[in-house]
Structure 1
C-alpha cells in the first residue's frame, strides 16, 4: 500500500464510527449538489449499476438506490466498510483501493466518486481516474466531486474535539484540471458545477460529470 493510502486508511479507520453516526444520509449536501447527482443518474438509463467508488460508511448508497440505481460500494477503510455493511446491508460493499479496483473491465453503467479522490496525490490521480474509467462501460458516466483550489492541506483537526487525533492530506484542484484529466482518458465532459463555500465549508466545491464514448 502506498504511504498516502496507509495514512488515509488509518485516519478513517479511527473515526469510522464517529463519522458514520454524524453523517447518516445527505446532511452535508446542498440542493445544487443533489441536483448534480440527479443529473448524473438521469444520464445512466433504467436501473443502472453504479459503483460508489470511495463509499465510506455507505451514506450515499441508499440515496442512489432511491433514484433507481443498483449501487455497490468500495472503500479503502475496513472500518468504514464495516459500518457500511451494518448500516446499509442491502448493498454490496468491499474493501479496496481506487488505484487497483478488483472489478472487471466495463462492469458499471456509472461510477460515482463523491469526494473520494481528494486524498489522492497529483502523481497518483491519473491512475485512479484510469481505474474508474476502466470499470465503466462504453456510454457510461463518471461523476467526481471535490474541493476547489490548489495544493495540499492537512485536515482532520475537527475530530480532535471528539477525542480522535488523526491526520489526513487533502488535495485541492480546479475544475479545468479534473476535466482535462478526464478528457485525456478519452471521456467527454457533459456537465460541470462550481459553487462557493456554504455553511461551515471553507472552500469552493465542484462536481464534474463525464461520459465514456461508445465503442
Structure 2
C-alpha cells in the first residue's frame, strides 16, 4: 500500500518536474503573481483526473489507436507552436507590461472575469491539448499503476499528490525569483527560453510521428 503510493509519488514527480508547456506557463504566472491559484488549480486538478483515467485502464485504449494518437499529437503540436510564437513575440518586443511590482498598465493586465477566462482557457489548452500530458499521465502512469495490482489506486494517489505538490510549489515559489525578474531583460530571456522549449517539443512530436 504505502510502497505503491511512494512509487507513484516518486515517478509522478520525476515526470512532471521536467521542463514543459505546463511548467513554463505556471512559472510565468507565478512570477507575475497573476491568477496563480487559478492556474495551479487547473493544472493540478487536470493531472488528478488524467492520472485516475490512466489508472482505470483508458491509457491502453489510447495507445492502441494509431489514428487517435496522430490526431492528438498534431493538435498538440499546433497548440505548442502557437504558445511558443506568442512567447517569441513578447521576447522580441520586450513588452514593458511584464513587471513584478504589480503596476503594469491596465490594458496589459486585464482584471475581472474576462481575464480569468482567458487565463483559464490558455491553461486548459496547454494541459488537455498537450500529448505529453497524456503520455505521462494516462499512458505511462496508467500502465505502471496497472502493474501494481491491488495497489494501483495507491500508486495513482501518490502520483496525484506529487502533481499537486509540484504545481503548488512552482506557482507560489516562483515569487522567490522575483528580484531576478525586476529587470525587463530577464523577462525577455524567459520568454525566449519558453518559445524555444515549446517549438522544440512540437518539433519532437512531429518528428516522432514521421519516424513512426
Please say whether Structure 1 and Structure 2 have the same fold, judged by a TM-score greater than 0.5.
Answer: no
| CA radius of gyration, larger in | 2
Q: Which has the higher helix share?
A: 2
TM-score (ref. length: structure 1): 0.22
Q: Which has the higher strand share?
A: 1
TM-score (ref. length: structure 2): 0.22
